Amino acid sequence: MLSALPFNRFRLSGRFAFFFIIFFAPSVAAIAQPLNEAKAGPSAFTAKLINIEAATNEVFRYSTTLHNGTKKQAIYELKAALPEGWVVSYKVEGNQVTSLNMDAGKSQEIAVEINASANASPKKYNIPLKAVAANDTLLLNLEAVVKGSYGVAMSTPSGRLSEEVSSGGHKDIQLEVKNSGTLALNNLELSSQLPSGWEVRFEPAKISKLEAGKSVAVTAFLKVPDKTIAGDYAATFSLSGTNANTQLAFRMFVKTSLLSGWIGIMVIVLAIGSVYYLIRRYGRR
pLDDT tens sequence across 85-123: 999 999 999 999 999 999 999 999 999 999 999 999 999
pLDDT of res. 52: 98
Global pTM reads 0.67
pLDDT band at 27 (very low <50, low <70, confident <90, very high): very low
pLDDT of res. 228: 87
Q: Is the pLDDT at 33 greater than 50, yes or no?
A: no
Average pLDDT, the chain: 85
Domains of the chain by start residue, with CATH? 40-146 (2.60.40.10), 152-257 (2.60.40.10)
The arithmetic mean of pLDDT across residues 144-166, rounded, is 95
For 218-250, b where at least 16 C-beta lie within 10 A, e where not — what string? Answer: bebebebeeebeeeebebebebebebbebebeb
Residue 75 CA to residue 113 CA, distance in Å, equals 21
Residue 240 CA to residue 184 CA, distance in Å, equals 14
The contacts of residue 184 (CB under 8 Å, 6+ apart) are 209, 210, 211, 212
- Helices H, strands E: what count in the chain? 3, 19
The arithmetic mean of pLDDT across residues 246-274, rounded, is 76
Q: Is residue 118 classed as helix, strand or coil in its secondary structure?
A: coil
The arithmetic mean of pLDDT across residues 225-235, rounded, is 91
pLDDT of res. 32: 29
183 vs 32, higher pLDDT: 183
Q: Is the pLDDT at 232 greater than 90, yes or no?
A: yes
Task: With beta carbons less than 8 A apart as the criterion, state whether 90 and 47 touch.
Answer: no
- Element containing residue 88 per DSSP (H, E): strand 87-92
138 vs 229, higher pLDDT: 138
Q: Is the pLDDT at 139 greater than 60, yes or no?
A: yes
Residue 169 CA to residue 223 CA, distance in Å, equals 6
Residue 241 CA to residue 91 CA, distance in Å, equals 29
